Amino acid sequence: MDNARVGATVVEQAARLLSAADVRLTLLDQSSDTLVLHSAVGPAAAALGTHQPSGAGLAGTVLQTGTPVRRPAVPSTPVAGSADEPPGPAVAVPLRDKGLLLGVLLAGRPRTAAQFTVTDQMALQVLADLAGARLGTAYLSAARQARARELAVLDPAWRPPPDQAGDFILVVKNRRQVIDADGAASRFLGYPRPALLERVLADIIPMPAWADQVDNLGAIRGEMLAGKTFTFDTVVRRRDANLIPVRLELRAFPVPDGFVARGIFHDRRTEERAQAWALQAETLRLLSDIGSGLAHAINSPLAIVLGNMEMLLGETQDPDVRALLEPARNAAERISRALQDLQRFARPVMPGAWTEIDVGQLARDSVEASRPLWETGSKAAGQSICVRVEVQGRLPIRGHALELQEALHELLTNAAQALPEGGTIVVRTEDAQGQVAITVADDGVGMSENIRQFCMEPFFTTRRPSGNGLGLNRVEHIVQRHRGTVEIESAEGQGTRVTLRFPLLRSND
C-alpha cells in the first residue's frame, strides 16, 4: 500500500473496531509545528490536508504529554464537517516509530454513546503502532529534512548532523551567555530566537545561587575540549516557567577567546512516563501474585493464632494478661484484613458473572450496609453525620453488584473518616448525558492537590497504620473493569466529591 491507503485502512479499521463515527489520523509537520489531517472517517473526511496547531485540543494534549487521553462528551457541539473536536466521548493515542512521536490517532463517538474504555484505548494504540511502523520511514525522511532546516541557523563549527541533533541545541560561551541556538530551541523553550540569544544559561537551566562561584566543568574541560561528550540528566525552564526533564549531551569547542559548550537536549518526558507506567504495571502484577500466594501461606497459621488468642481472652479476666493479649489479637486481625484486601485485588470478579443492576437500589443497599461505619462511629465521637441518598429514577447498568457495592463502601468509609467533627454525606445517582453517574460527596476536611493526584496509587495512604493504601486503587480497578471512569474533586477544608461514571444499559444491549 502507499501511505495514503495505509492511513485510510487504519482509520476504517479503528471505526469498525471501536464503533466510532469519527476517526482521525494526524501527522506532525516539523517544519510548521502543526498537525496535518492525513486520513479520516466521519465529519473530518472533507478536511484532509488541513493544518491545526500542534498544541490545540485533545491531539495537542497527546503530543505535549506523549500519553493517551480519554475524555467524555463536551458541552459544546462543533459544526458538522469541520476539523473541530468530536463532541461525544473521544480517545486519542500517540503515533510513534522507534520512539519518535509522529502524530496522533483519535476516535470519537456520538454524544449519547458510551465512553471509551481502557480496552478501547489499548486497541486503538495497537492500530497506531502499526500505522507508525508503516508510515515511519517516509515521515523520518521528511523529519530529517525539517531538522536540517532548523539546524541551518547554527554556526557550521558546531552544527551536528540531523540524526544526531536531538530535540534542540543551545551553545553557551564561557559557561554563561547563550550565543547560538537552532530553530527547534525557540519552539521548545518558547522564546523568539533574538530573545533566546539574550538569555544566560541560568535562565534556561535552574542553578543554585553559588553556581557562578564554582567552576563545575573544570574537572572535565580538558576532555571536553579533546572532543569527548558528557551526558547527564537535568531540567530546563521554559519561558512560561514550566520545568521539563531533559537529557543533555555536552561537548566543548575551542574559540580564540575561550571555549563554547554545545548542548544537545533530548526531551525525557515520554521516557519518564513510560518508566512510571512500567513500574506501576509491575507493581500491580507483583501485588496480584502476593495477594494469591501470601494469603494461602499465612491464612492457615494466622487462623490458629487468632483462635488461640480468642480462647485465652475468653478464659481470663486478669487485666495484666489481657493487656498483653488484646494488642496481639488486634495486630493479627489487621494482618487478616490486609490479606483479604490483597486477595480481593488479586481475584477480580470476571464479566461472566455480571447481571443487570439498578444503580439507585445499589446506592441504597450500599448506604444501609455501611450504616455502622458512619452511624456508630459518629455517635461514639459525639458528632453527627447525616447521609442522604438522592436517586434519579431507574438507571440500569451491567456489572457485578457485590464488587460495585464494595467500591461504594470504600467511598462511604473515606467520606465518614473525612468528617471528624460531623457533617453531611450525599450519595446521588443521575443520568449524565447517556451515562450513569454515581456521586459520593462530603463536606469534610478535603484533600490538598498533591494528595488528590496520588490518592488512587497503590499503597498511597495518609492513614497509616490503620490504612494500607489499597482502597481507592481497588475502587479504580473495579470501575475500570465495568468500563467506567473515576473523577475526584477535592480541596482542603471544602470536602471531596467522587464521581463514578458507567455506560447506561440500553434495551438492545
Give residue limits of the domains in the chain. Answer: 3-149, 156-267, 269-347, 350-509
Residues 278-288, mean pLDDT to the nearest whole number: 63
Over the stretch 412-425, which tens digit does the pLDDT of each residue have? Answer: 988 888 888 888 89
CB-based burial label for 304 (10 Å; 0-12, 13-18, 19+): exposed
The CA-based dihedral angle spanning residues 348, 354, 356, 357, taken in that order and rounded to the nearest 10 degrees: -20
Residue 361 β-bridge partners: none
Neighbours of 324 (CB within 10 A): 10
Secondary structure of 6-74 as H, E, C letters: HHHHHHHHHHHHHCCCEEEEEEEECCCCEEEEEEEECHHHHHCCCEEECCCHHHHHHHHHCCCEEECCC
Out of 92-96, 190-194, 204-208, 272-276, least confident range: 272-276
- Its pTM stands at 0.43
CA-atom Rg of the chain in angstroms: 29
Beta strands in 146-239 (DSSP E): 168-173, 177-181, 230-237
Torsion of CA 275, 281, 283, 287, to 10 degrees: 180
Q: Do domains 156-267 and 269-347 have the same CATH topology?
A: no
Q: Cell for 150?
A: 532548523
Q: Is 379 helix (H, G, I), strand (E, B) or coil?
A: helix
Confidence of residue 194 (pLDDT cuts 50, 70, 90): very high
Task: Choose the CATH number for 269-347 among 1.10.10, 1.10.540, 2.60.200, 1.10.287.
Answer: 1.10.287
Q: What is the mean pLDDT of residues 165-179?
A: 88
CATH superfamily of this structure's domain 350-509: Histidine kinase-like ATPase, C-terminal domain (3.30.565.10)
Q: What is the DSSP letter of 158?
A: G
Q: Which CATH class name applies to 156-267?
A: alpha beta
Q: Is the pLDDT of residue 97 over 70?
A: yes
- State the fold for domain 3-149: Beta-Lactamase (3.30.450)
**Tens digits of per-residue pLDDT, 436-448?**
999 999 988 888 8
Q: How far is residue 466's CA from residue 324's CA, in Å, rounded to a whole number? A: 20
| Other beta carbons less than 10 A from residue 286's beta carbon | 11
Question: What does the mean pLDDT of the chain come to?
Answer: 80
